[in-house]
Copies of this chain bind each other. A is one copy, B any other.
């Protein structure tokens, strides 16, 4: 499902049962980091609905049955050519091994299989490592957008154009309409 993962790591689609474990690993990975939201804020950003309704475009990477990384994304209902990455994280102990890149590449592939050639996401201005990661992947970054996600919730937005797959644009596209 996901190419180029380091040895010992396996990938699968997200499941409902991953909700509390994902929130728990975020507390461990990011709990003490400056500029990161707290535990409740992360839970509000990741309500269970993502683990019920967007599993087919979301992934979990495991090592020895433990969550090592994840990516939660969806196909835009409103923008026919767009897919969106809502939240992604990699165990800090695995940084620098290409796990995040492999997750994004897997998301790009599934987006393209649905005829989506434009991918968007956002990050907080304080999260410079996330910004650098997205630029290395080929995303274009915006300037900081004040109050983008609400009062005091400034964001940097990212977008990337994927090659259009000339072969297979599935009937999926007809999902949208108005």
A interface, CB within 8 angstroms of B? 13, 19-20, 23, 37, 39-49, 52-57, 74-79, 82, 84, 86, 122, 147-153, 155, 170-172, 174-178
B40→A56 contact, CB < 8 A? no
Can you list 23 contacts pairing A with B, beta carbon distance less than 8 Å?
A: A20-B151, A42-B150, A43-B150, A43-B151, A43-B153, A48-B122, A48-B149, A52-B76, A53-B76, A53-B82, A54-B77, A54-B78, A55-B78, A56-B77, A56-B177, A56-B178, A74-B77, A75-B175, A171-B175, A172-B174, A172-B175, A172-B177, A175-B175
Identical chains in the assembly: 2
Across the interface, do A79 and B56 meet the contact criterion of CB distance under 8 Å?
no
Name the distance in Å between A11's Cβ and chain B's nearest Cβ.
Answer: 14
* A42 and chain B: residue at smallest CB distance: B150
CA distance A45 to B42 in the complex (A): 10
Residues of chain B lying within 8 A (CB to CB) of residue A148: 48
**How many Å lie between the Cα of A57 and that of B49 in the bound state?**
16
Interchain nearest-CB distance for A90 vs B (Å):
21
A75 to chain B, nearest CB (A): 6
Set of chain B residues within 8 Å of A78, measured between Cβ atoms:
52-56
Given contacts A40-B150, A45-B47, A47-B153, 8 further A-B pairs with CB under 8 A are A13-B178, A23-B151, A44-B150, A48-B122, A49-B84, A54-B78, A171-B171, A172-B175
Residue on B with the closest CB to A173?
B175
